């Protein structure tokens, strides 16, 4: 649909914000900051991605550090989402979340409680326990979880503001290993579903959105790409394209051809 007077199409002026805990985001891509080769590249990649929120980890201050991710966030205007990366228990996660809240002056937290270093898979028992306690303490909890529809439902029930199932293990780039489960999670939850972890390239991000996810969270796929800034741009377009395709409604898959031209007469 093109407006003849202005030359703009409906697609150009399309308003479709992501809403988490009542806050609106225009970008459905949330970038993580982990793995960038330098703070300079990180800043450029964040800008190219169009993201409005990015995850950061909490670690002991290094007196010899040159520059900081905190400076990059202030320079780019991207809001920080402190995570609990590196925590193996609910108790650890609570402590880290409270420190993140104090340091970054936000009560939002990406809850991440992993089971072991080799797989970095979320520990479901500790994650659910921590989620419930953080919600009780007034945190807005975005919970990283397995692609388990039942656990996703439980996390939503205890009050998580968003549920973030993995596509595949963190940093693996294997894409979405169980699209069926992601669809089940999307169908059932009323809170935003954000595909987190496992994205390798643009088509994975587009698929997440086509499956009905509300947003995509990724870091490694961009920060460890050969050209992180170009990949950030690709991810921005992939998320946007996947979202529009989802809303547009794809055609059914058929076994045989379905002619798109009228048959010839005579």
Binding residues for 1-deoxy-D-xylulose 5-phosphate: 171, 197-198, 219-220
| Distances from the Cα of 254 to the Cα of 207, 211, 242, 251, 259, angstroms | 19, 19, 21, 9, 12
Choosing from 76, 88, 99, 244, the residue that interacts with other proteins (CB under 8 A) is 99
> Of 21-29, 92-100, 203-211, 232-240, which segment contacts other proteins by CB under 8 A?
92-100
Please state, in angstroms and rounded to a whole number, the distance separating the CA atoms of residues 106 and 1: 41
Please state, in angstroms and rounded to a whole number, the distance separating the CA atoms of residues 266 and 264: 7
Binding-site residues: 171, 197-198, 219-220
Please state, in angstroms and rounded to a whole number, the distance separating the CA atoms of residues 133 and 148: 21
Residue 34-73 contact track with other proteins, rule CB under 8 A, x = bound: xxx-----x------------xxxxxxx-x----xxx--x
Per-residue exposure over 208-236, b if at least 16 CB sit within 10 Å of its own CB, e if not: bbbbbbbbbbbbbbbbebeebbebbbbbb
Tell me phi and psi for residue 218, to 5 degrees. -150, 155
Does 215 interact with other proteins (rule: CB under 8 A)?
Answer: no
Q: Catalytic one among 110, 233, 243, 246?
A: 110
Active site (annotated) includes residue 24: no
Please state, in angstroms and rounded to a whole number, the distance separating the CA atoms of residues 36 and 16: 30
Nearest CB to other proteins, comparing residues 204 and 210? 204
> Of 82-90, 187-195, 234-242, 244-252, which segment contacts other proteins by CB under 8 A?
82-90
* Interaction site with other proteins (CB under 8 A): 32-36, 42, 55-61, 63, 68-70, 73, 80-83, 85-86, 95, 98-100, 102-105, 110, 112, 219
Residues labelled as active-site residues: 110
């Amino acid at each position: 649909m093109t407006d003849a007077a202005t030359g703009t199409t409906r697609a150009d002026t399309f308003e479709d914000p992501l809403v988490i805990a009542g806050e609106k985001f225009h970008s459905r891509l949330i970038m993580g900051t982990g793995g960038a080769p330098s703070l300079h590249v990180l800043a450029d990649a964040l800008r190219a991605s169009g993201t409005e929120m990015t995850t950061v980890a909490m670690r002991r201050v290094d007196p010899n550090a040159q520059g900081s991710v905190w400076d990059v966030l202030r320079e780019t205007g991207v809001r920080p989402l402190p995570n609990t990366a590196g925590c193996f228990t609910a108790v650890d996660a609570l402590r880290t979340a409270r420190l993140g809240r104090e340091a970054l002056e936000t009560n939002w937290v990406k809850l991440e409680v992993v089971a072991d270093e080799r797989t970095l898979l979320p520990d479901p028992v500790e994650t659910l326990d921590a989620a419930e306690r953080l919600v009780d303490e007034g945190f807005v909890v975005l919970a990283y979880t397995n692609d388990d529809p039942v656990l996703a439902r439980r996390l939503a029930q205890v009050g998580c503001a968003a549920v973030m199932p993995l596509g595949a293990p963190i940093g693996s780039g294997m894409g979405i290993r169980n699209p069926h489960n992601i669809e089940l999670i999307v169908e059932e939850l009323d809170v935003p579903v954000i595909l987190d972890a496992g994205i390798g390239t643009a088509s994975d991000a587009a698929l997440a959105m086509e499956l009905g996810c509300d947003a995509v969270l990724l870091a490694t796929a961009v920060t460890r790409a050969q050209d992180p800034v170009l990949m950030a741009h690709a991810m921005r377009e992939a998320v946007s394209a996947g979202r529009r395709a989802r809303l547009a409604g794809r055609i059914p898959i058929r076994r045989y051809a379905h002619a798109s031209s009228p048959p010839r007469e005579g």
